[in-house]
Amino acid sequence: MTSHAETAPLVELPFGDRLAEAVERKRSQLVVGLDPRPDLLPVEVRGDVARFCCGVIDAVAPHAVAVKPQLAFFEALGLEGLTVCQEVCAYARAAGLLVILDGKRGDIGSTARAYAAAYLEPGADASRPFGDALTVNPYLGRDSVDPYLAACRRHGVGIFCVVKTSNAGGGEVQDLALTDGRPVWHHVALLVAEWGADLVGRRGLSSVGAVIGATHPTAVREARRILPQAVLLLPGVGAQGATPADVAPAFTSGPASALVPVSRSVMHAYRAGDAADWRTAAGAEAARVKSEVWAASGW
């Protein structure tokens, strides 16, 4: 495991500006998801989630702009899991990657404020926030999102609001028609645009983004129209069946206006049947997806 420094200065630039700089510098819109399952780890690192995740980070750092730890997989490891997640996030940052925590947190009042403090605000020792951004669930309304918006203003972090998801059952709520015929998710997208309007950085991107499932190409196009200044996080490319071509319309607002997270196909690339080292396989798959997405984006 390569050694990186464990501390870094506090960040003041808005999340959208930092993301735009990283995308243009690396010519990449790839986000590598970290969804560690102990039963799927290579034999070499079986039982050592931190070592596996940090090895993946070393492999993909030249090709990705961010990692996306899925908090549920770390929480499933018990109390130790959050400590491991913090270690992995610090390692990723020291490797020059942004950290997008995937928690889809959604609650009201003091609970939302506690989530914002836990994941998006500096610690008592003035260390950097746990993550550079966090996925949140806006379906509880504005008061459930306000604490995260406040953190974005104060600390230069970002959020990605779940708007239209990639799972098949999402349409049972998100696609319901309003009285004017628009689906519910369109209304939520408009709210997200409103919430992020005063958090647009110098690069023209808001710190308030949206999660739009890449498995719904029509929704990707519609979301881009409704949310011209939002960064769209587009899960579903790879294992869920979507392709880079499906998300190409999301990049019309600029090269950093959309991100493509890929988890299983990178983390477990070594299981594809060849004899490649797991780190080598992860790096090769990340490089391939990065190139395909960049080409599809048209930039």
Residues in the chain, total: 299
Helix, strand, coil shares, percent, the chain, to 5:
50, 15, 35
| CA angle, 129 then 130 then 136, to 5° | 100
Which of 26, 68, 104, 164 is an active site residue? Answer: 104
Does the annotation mark 104 as catalytic? yes
Nearest to 178 by CA among 194, 191, 197: 191
- What's the half-sphere exposure (Cβ side, CA atoms, 13 Å) at 279? 15
Contact 179, 172 (CB under 8 A): no
* Structure token pair of residue 75: 């929480």
* Structure token pair of residue 140: 């509880």
* Structure token pair of residue 185: 């998710």
Please name the residue that has the structure tokens 């998710």.
Answer: 185
Chain centroid, CA 273 distance in Å: 28
At position 200, the amino acid (one-letter code) is V
Segment (H or E) for 31? strand 30-34
Residues 246, 221: Cα–Cα separation, whole Å:
9
- What's the half-sphere exposure (Cβ side, CA atoms, 13 Å) at 139? 14
What is the bridge-based pairing of β-strands 98-105 and 158-164?
unpaired
Please name the residue that has the structure tokens 């983004």.
Answer: 209
Give the residue numbers marked as catalytic: 104
